[in-house]
C-alpha cells in the first residue's frame, strides 16, 4: 500500500513537473528570443522591455482568473486549460512577423503560464502528506531549472543556425505530450472533499483572502511575491542582453547564461533538503539575502570570472527561493480559498514582472549604469526578505484544512 502511494506521488510529481518544465522552457527561450529579435527587428531597449512585460501582464491576469477557477471547477481542469493555452499560443508566435502580433500572443501565452504555476503547486501541496509537502513542492519547482536548461541548449544550438522561429516551435511540441499525460491525472483529494459544498461567489472568496485571520499573511505574501517576481523577470529576461551590453557576442552570451543556468538545480535541491529541516522562513530569508548579494556583484562585475561566479550564485539562490515561495504560499489558506489566495498573491506579484523588464529597458535607454540597475533589484529582494522576517509565520509540517 505504501509503495503504491509512493508511486502515485512520483507520478503526480512527474506529470505536474513536465508542465512546469515546459512553462520554464517557454519563458527561458523568450529571454533568448528577445536578444535575437533586437537584431532581426531592430528593436529599441524599450520595445525589448515591453515583450517581457506583456508576458507578465498576461501572467497577472491568468494567475487571478485561473486561481479563482481552480476553486470552482477543480485544479486538474484548470491545469489542462492553462497548458493548452500557452502551448498553442507559443506555436503560433513562431509565425509572427510584427511586434504588435507577437505582443498579443505573448499576452495569451502569459495567461496560460501565470494560471498554471500557482494551480500546479496547490494541486501537489494538497496531494502529499504534511511531513514531506515542502520538499515535494520544491522538487516540483526544480523542473523549472530543467526547462531553463533546455531553453538555453535550444537557444545556443538552434537560434544561431535555424532562427528563433524554430526554437519556439520546438518548445511547443513536447507540451502536448504533457497535456496527454495530464488527462489521466486525478484531481486533488482535498478539492474533491469540498466539491459541491462551497457556494461562495468569486467576490466573496477574494474578500475572504483579505479578511481576518488572513490579513497579515496575505500582506506578507503580496509583498514577497511582488519583490521576487520584479527582480526575477527584471534580471533573468534581460540576462542574455545584459551579457551583450557587457561586450560579449550573442553566441558567447548564450554560452555563459547556459553555464549560469546549471546552478539552478543545486539551488532547488538544497532548498528541498533544508525546507523540512530548517523551515520555510529560514530558507526564504537565507536564499533571498544570497540572491540580493549575488545581484549586486553581478551588476558591478568587471571581470569575466566575477561575472560568471556571481551569475552562478544568482541562479542558485534565486531559484531556491522560488521553490520555497511556491511551497510556502498555499499553506496559508484553507482548501475552499487556497487556489484564490495563491492565485491573487501570484497575480499581484506579476505586476512586479511587468515593471521589472520595463524598468531595465527604460533605465538602459537613459544610459543608466548596469550596476545601478542591479542595485535596485538588490534592494527589492531585501524588502521581500524583511517582509518574511517580520510578518511571516512558520508553516513547516502544518496540516492543511
DSSP one-letter string for 286-338: HHHHHHHHHHHHHHH--SHHHHHHHHHHHHHHHHHHHHHHHHHGGGGS-HHHH
C-alpha cell at 333: 489558506
Domains of the chain, residue spans: 2-183+210-391
Q: What is the pLDDT of residue 1?
A: 44
**CA pair distance 293, 375, nearest whole angstrom:** 9
Q: Which CATH number fits domain 2-183+210-391: 1.20.1250.20, 1.20.1730.10, 3.20.20.140, 3.40.50.300?
A: 1.20.1250.20
C-alpha cell at 292: 540580493
Q: What is the pTM of this model?
A: 0.84
pLDDT tens for the chain, 401 residues long, are: 444 455 477 788 888 888 788 888 887 888 788 888 888 899 888 888 788 788 888 989 999 999 999 998 888 889 888 888 888 898 899 999 999 999 999 999 999 988 988 888 888 888 888 888 889 988 888 888 888 888 888 888 888 889 899 988 887 876 777 777 777 778 888 888 888 777 788 899 999 999 989 999 999 999 999 999 999 888 877 777 777 777 777 667 777 777 887 888 899 899 999 999 999 999 999 999 999 999 999 888 878 888 889 889 998 999 899 989 999 999 999 989 999 999 999 999 989 988 888 888 888 888 888 888 889 999 999 999 999 999 999 998 888 87
Q: What is the pLDDT of residue 377?
A: 93
Q: What is the pLDDT of residue 186?
A: 80
Which residue is associated with the grid cell 533568448?
Answer: 32
Q: What is the pLDDT of residue 51?
A: 84
Residue of 13, 5, 6, 1 whose CA lies nearest to 185:
13
Beta strands per DSSP E along 90-219:
none
Helix ranges (H only) for 183-246 are: 189-194, 202-210, 215-236, 239-245
Are the C-beta atoms of residues 200 and 336 closer than 8 Å to each other? yes
**CA pair distance 341, 103, nearest whole angstrom:** 28
Q: How wide is the angle at C-alpha 309 spanned by C-alphas 47 and 298, nearest 5°?
A: 40
**CA pair distance 41, 30, nearest whole angstrom:** 15
Q: What is the pLDDT of residue 393?
A: 92
Answer positive or negative: Cα dihedral of 293, 294, 300, 303. positive
Half-sphere exposure in the Cβ direction for 123 (13 Å, CA): 31
Radius of gyration over alpha carbons of the chain, in Å? 20
**CA pair distance 80, 77, nearest whole angstrom:** 5
Who's near 92: CB < 8 A, 6+ residues apart?
105
Question: Using the 8-state DSSP alphabet, how is residue 128 labeled?
Answer: S
Amino acid at each position: 500500500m505504501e509503495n503504491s502511494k509512493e508511486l502515485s506521488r512520483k507520478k503526480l510529481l512527474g506529470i505536474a513537473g513536465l508542465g512546469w518544465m515546459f512553462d520554464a522552457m517557454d519563458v527561458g527561450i523568450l529571454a533568448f528570443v528577445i536578444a535575437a529579435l533586437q537584431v532581426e527587428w531592430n528593436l529599441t531597449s524599450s520595445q525589448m522591455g515591453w515583450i517581457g512585460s506583456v508576458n507578465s501582464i498576461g501572467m497577472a491576469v491568468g494567475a487571478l482568473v485561473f486561481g479563482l477557477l481552480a476553486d470552482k471547477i477543480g485544479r486538474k481542469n484548470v491545469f489542462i486549460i492553462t497548458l493548452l493555452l500557452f502551448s498553442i499560443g507559443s506555436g503560433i508566435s513562431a509565425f509572427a512577423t510584427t511586434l504588435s502580433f507577437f505582443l498579443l500572443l505573448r499576452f495569451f501565452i502569459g495567461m496560460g503560464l501565470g494560471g498554471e504555476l500557482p494551480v500546479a503547486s496547490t494541486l501537489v501541496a494538497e496531494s502529499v502528506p504534511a511531513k514531506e509537502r515542502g520538499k515535494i513542492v520544491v522538487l516540483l519547482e526544480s523542473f523549472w531549472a530543467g526547462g531553463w536548461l533546455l531553453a538555453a541548449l535550444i537557444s545556443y544550438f538552434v537560434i544561431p543556425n535555424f532562427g528563433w522561429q524554430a526554437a519556439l516551435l520546438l518548445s511547443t511540441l513536447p507540451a502536448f505530450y504533457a497535456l496527454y499525460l495530464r488527462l489521466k491525472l486525478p484531481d486533488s483529494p482535498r478539492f474533491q472533499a469540498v466539491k459541491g459544498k462551497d457556494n461562495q461567489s468569486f467576490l466573496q472568496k477574494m474578500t475572504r483572502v483579505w479578511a481576518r485571520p488572513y490579513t497579515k499573511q496575505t500582506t506578507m505574501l503580496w509583498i514577497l511575491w511582488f519583490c521576487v517576481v520584479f527582480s526575477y523577470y527584471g534580471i533573468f529576461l534581460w540576462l542574455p542582453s545584459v551579457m551583450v551590453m557587457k561586450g560579449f557576442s550573442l553566441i558567447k552570451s548564450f554560452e555563459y547564461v547556459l553555464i549560469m543556468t546549471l546552478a539552478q538545480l543545486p539551488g532547488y535541491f538544497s532548498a528541498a533538503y533544508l525546507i523540512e529541516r530548517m523551515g520555510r522562513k529560514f530558507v526564504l530569508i537565507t536564499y533571498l539575502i544570497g540572491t540580493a548579494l549575488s545581484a549586486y556583484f553581478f551588476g558591478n562585475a568587471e571581470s569575466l570570472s566575477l561575472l560568471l561566479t556571481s551569475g552562478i550564485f544568482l541562479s542558485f539562490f534565486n531559484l531556491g527561493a522560488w521553490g520555497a515561495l511556491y511551497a510556502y504560499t498555499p499553506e496559508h489558506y484553507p482548501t475552499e480559498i487556497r487556489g484564490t489566495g495563491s492565485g491573487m498573491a501570484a497575480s499581484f506579484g506579476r505586476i512586479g514582472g511587468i515593471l521589472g523588464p520595463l524598468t531595465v529597458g527604460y533605465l538602459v535607454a537613459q544610459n543608466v549604469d548596469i550596476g545601478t540597475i542591479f542595485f535596485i533589484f538588490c534592494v527589492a529582494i531585501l524588502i521581500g526578505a524583511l517582509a518574511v522576517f517580520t510578518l511571516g509565520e512558520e508553516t513547516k509540517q502544518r496540516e492543511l484544512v
